[in-house]
Amino acid sequence: MTRTTDPTSGRSRLLVPLLLCALLPGLLALGACKRGGDGAKAADGEADKGPEAVPVEVTKVGRRAIAASYAGTAPLEARAESQVVAKTSGVALGVLAEEGQRVRAGQVLVRLDSARAALQAAQTAAQMRKLEANYARSRQLSEQKLISANDIDQIRYDLENARAANRLANLELSYANVTAPISGIVATRSIKTGNFVQINTPIFRIVDTDKLEATLNVPERELATLKAGLPVTLRVDALPGRDFAGTVDRVAPVVDSGSGTFRVICAFDSGGVLQPGMFGRLQINYDQRADALVIPRNALLDDESQPAVYTVRDGKAARAPVTLGYVDGEWVEVRSGLKLGDPVVTAGKVALREGSPVQVITHGAPAATPATAAGKDTKQ
């Protein structure tokens, strides 16, 4: 059987692969261009979206009473304290006070054996009476010109010496009763009945707890502002949550050249609660404004040489320089740079820059009104 070939059909089969080889690069280039166009559009969409908003907390500028004050720490000390010592030696026949007992000035605390002192007082009293009688007779003899003036003078001098010796003996006798030099509480007692007490030996310590003092060493820059009579608020670690009122009792205006400080002594009534030795935190208020423009202290930027805050304007962060006044606890007075009702950022400010978009997630408590603040201060 003989196979025949169609010349036209053979050429067609040869042209198809050639056409595919010629068109394939173009198709690939067209697909690449299309994909590149889609990527450019996605990038443009992301660019149009912009940076994400920073979540922040804000508090509005408000008004409240604010005080200018100086704060410091110091231990409480008793205004009066005394070591009771024995002024003579002897055996303690009776101890009449115990630790923790309140005593008054002049009250007998210990009775010592006074037999020897009593005999000495009696002996000097007898000698004194003898010389008094001799002096009376010598004056009668002097009137009769029977005794010389020199003899009278000698008898008078002997009488004066005897009287002094008798007073000394009576003084020693009185020392047998050891008395309290001040009124207060017996803090320590170092004697028991039957003990032999040496002269000048401390046997009691009495502390006057009715009036307490705290001494602050204040920098010399405060010398012009802190004066006697200013109110002082005291808080002690042993009694949390309680405030105690006092006053600046006196100021020692001499500045110590080594430390650059001067002493301010504050006085407090114990009220039966405060005790010497308690550690106190004191605040001396030397000025007050009843209607000051204030912001929270944590709104201030930490890394600024000039005081500044971030406020929110049209949804973006704006840095606002401020002039500060008094600082009172968690509040700080604003003298210029902000107005009433302006929002200031209190949380999230670290991530902010000028013009950063912000998202306010919560509003902090605004500053108290003057009336509310005054009521709060009165309650404290």
Q: What is the CATH number of the domain that holds 215?
A: 2.40.50.100
Residue 238 maps to a domain: yes
Last residue of a domain, one of 142, 174, 206: 174
Answer yes or no: do 183 and 234 share one domain: yes
- The tens digit of pLDDT for each residue in 1-41 reads 444 444 444 444 544 444 444 554 554 444 544 454 454 44
Residues 85, 201 contacting (CB under 8 angstroms): yes
Strand duo 90-95 + 196-197: pairing: antiparallel
Residue 185 maps to a domain: yes
- The model's pTM: 0.58
| Token code pair at residue 224 | 């012009």
Answer yes or no: do 105 and 200 share one domain: yes
Answer yes or no: do 150 and 199 share one domain: no
Overall domain count for the chain: 3
Answer yes or no: do 218 and 309 share one domain: no
Strand duo 54-60 + 358-363: pairing: parallel
For residues 115 and 136, give the distance between their C-alpha atoms in angstroms, rounded to a whole number. 32
| Token code pair at residue 260 | 């650059």
CATH number at residue 148: 1.10.287
Residue 333 maps to a domain: yes
Residues 345, 317 contacting (CB under 8 angstroms): yes
Answer yes or no: do 334 and 361 share one domain: yes
The per-residue pLDDT for 300 is: 87
For residues 349 and 300, give the distance between their C-alpha atoms in angstroms, rounded to a whole number. 9
- Scanning 175-317, the segments in alpha helix (DSSP H) are none
**Total H helices, total E strands in the chain:** 4, 20
Residue 28 maps to a domain: no
- pLDDT of 322 strictly over 90: no
Residue 123 maps to a domain: yes
Last residue of a domain, one of 149, 174, 199: 174
Answer yes or no: do 124 and 150 share one domain: yes
| Token code pair at residue 53 | 């908003």
The per-residue pLDDT for 48 is: 52
Residue 38 maps to a domain: no
Answer yes or no: do 374 and 305 share one domain: yes
CATH number at residue 329: 2.40.420.20
Answer yes or no: do 99 and 183 share one domain: yes
Mean pLDDT, the chain, rounded, equals 82
The per-residue pLDDT for 297 is: 86
For residues 331 and 289, give the distance between their C-alpha atoms in angstroms, rounded to a whole number. 13
* Residue 192 domain boundaries: 77-112+176-277
Answer yes or no: do 180 and 157 share one domain: no
Answer yes or no: do 333 and 247 share one domain: no
Answer yes or no: do 59 and 81 share one domain: no
- The tens digit of pLDDT for each residue in 47-94 reads 455 578 888 888 888 888 887 788 899 999 998 999 999 999 999 999
Residue 151 maps to a domain: yes
Mean of the pLDDT values across residues 263-286? Answer: 90
Answer yes or no: do 82 and 205 share one domain: yes
Residue 30 maps to a domain: no
